[in-house]
Structure 1
């Protein structure tokens, strides 16, 4: 009976025309974002809202991938999902750099809504031992909408985190439908490539804009070429070979080789005299050593001569008269 039930479900699975595979899709990927304020360093805005949906996994603020607001009451962050979705759950990555400053604790007392519909609350802060893993929050049923918003309910503090992924159950996960720009990342939706906008971009106020709008910073736009992700394998190999050729060491250009070329014969009389005196001194030392042992050498020669005489007598006998 159990086997028959299993086969029934297998056959239904294979023949049911309305059945589709569904998967969790990150519907916040490279979407338009905003936040209540941007942290400034020497007049330069950092911690922009778009950093949370750039797809970069780094949890280090100096890598330019984290959100950071100014000190304020109830700082907030929002993402436009581009369509209406039923949000299933959310993953949030917090800062893991400089743990002594406890930046990871700046994600606490957070309330999350989807088009003003309640999704979840997070009291936090996370435990230090867990900061390298994303915080997963499951939305309440009825969290349906286009705009997801996170508010940190504090009287005078900032809001910090690095990456936000908003998951909805869809038949398939597609690419972002709109152009998007954040920092040096410039996504072209029609080409599905990270290319630079044609217009000169400027430093933004903390919010993302569409490519070419000029309200974000894209350093690559100044040279008018695609970023590395658009380079083909052949082009990348060509560039790599060029770099290898540039850094190749020429044996004739090393310091040792050059020193050989720059060395010249020393023809000074003093240098020549020193050389001659050295040879004479060496010959004198050898002569003295030979003279000291000359008597020994003579005795040795006489003994060798006597030995040869004995060997000759043994071999040929005494000479007959």
Structure 2
């Protein structure tokens, strides 16, 4: 299958093939929902999507791989090395040949990668966000630009500029979902990705969240605060949905599938009554396969029509 995808994308250089294969393995291993959705893209679109995911995951692992005993200074040095190699065209890291090739092929602006790496650096030292603008500043690089990087690969039916705000919104929606699902895991890394002033409205602060983390329970105040964050995320999904119709028809089944499955993680968070400190909200394998099967029918029809 991977050979067919690379052939369809015109990738036959052995160095590039190895790098694209590495990125695909990262996607398959760590991005279950994301990887499943990419199966609905045309074969030629899949390798560049894997490359973008692989680069983002590689950088994220430098920051968060709990099995690596590294200081903040060591992680910062490794991230700076990755950044320098990317912007200097040095392909010695396993993901770089593929992502640099993708960036050149699809003319993805370099500043989108710069914004991404800036937000990754923030994770080294920033542990709390005082308000929504501060969180949005972080999410510009960690989520919104991912949607913008994807846009040239997905294609649009009109000017890309019209679809761009919705692509940003979709990246933000996915990340807001992760923030809610992973609040307990993030606390283990000493991070809180929820605006402090909005939490304070419900009498919640770091101490209260830490109590929930330590006792594996969701305090009633925290439940109300998380429900409010849940409503905000829902609003971002409603905005993002409007952009799916602006994408190239062959890309819509993939994005619709990812949209559906990620938004259903929000459903699960609500269904378990925000017990995110004792359970991980997830969509069942059966449901993922059901949504994928429906998307596969639409994808085949769209490619046939094209």
Q: TM-score range by the shorter chain?
A: under 0.3
TM-score scaled by length of structure 2: 0.21
Higher helix fraction (1 or 2)? 2
Higher relative contact order (CA 8 A, sep 6+): 2
TM-score scaled by length of structure 1: 0.20
Choose 1 or 2 for highest CA Rg: 1
Higher strand fraction (1 or 2)? 1
